[in-house]
Amino acid sequence: MAFVKGQSGNPRGRPKQTEEEKAQKAEFKALLKSSTVPALKSIIRIAKDKDSKDRFNACKYILDRAYGTNTPLLLNDMENEEQQLIVKVVPYSLPDDDWSDEDWENAEGQED
């Protein structure tokens, strides 16, 4: 059957979910949400492991989720110059909201 302009290819739409399917979907989402913190801790552990072959991907995942994948990095309003972005993974100790400027300065001064 050829495509007809202005006519839906699926006039009945998506089939309705049964109550069982809705329950399974809700259970699946709840399971995913309950695993979020342990999964993030695992990703952070991989990012901190200097010998892990997946360290770069873990760091990239964290940055992409925190700042977005298409966020342009504008450094010092300079155009057409190569810039180096250094990302340092520091040990977890305080939630971000509890870090003072002094805490950040101390973390920046520590070397691996």
pLDDT at residue 96 is higher than 60:
no
- Is 86 or 16 the better-scoring residue by pLDDT? 16
CB 47 within 8 Å of CB 59: yes
Rounded to whole angstroms, how far apart are CA atoms 51 and 46?
9
Write out pLDDT tens, residues 34-88: 888 888 889 989 988 888 888 888 888 888 887 777 665 544 455 555 556 666 6
Rounded to whole angstroms, how far apart are CA atoms 88 and 111?
9
φ/ψ of 43, rounded to 5, equals -65, -40
CB 38 within 8 Å of CB 80: no
Domain count, the chain: 1
Residue 107 lies in a domain: no
Residue 75 lies in a domain: yes
* Segments forming the whole domain that contains residue 78: 23-89
Residue 91's identity, in one-letter code, is P
Report the range of poorest mean pLDDT among 3-7, 40-44, 95-99. Answer: 95-99
Residue 40 lies in a domain: yes
Residue 100 lies in a domain: no
Give the mean model confidence (pLDDT) for residues 4-10.
82
Residue 51 lies in a domain: yes
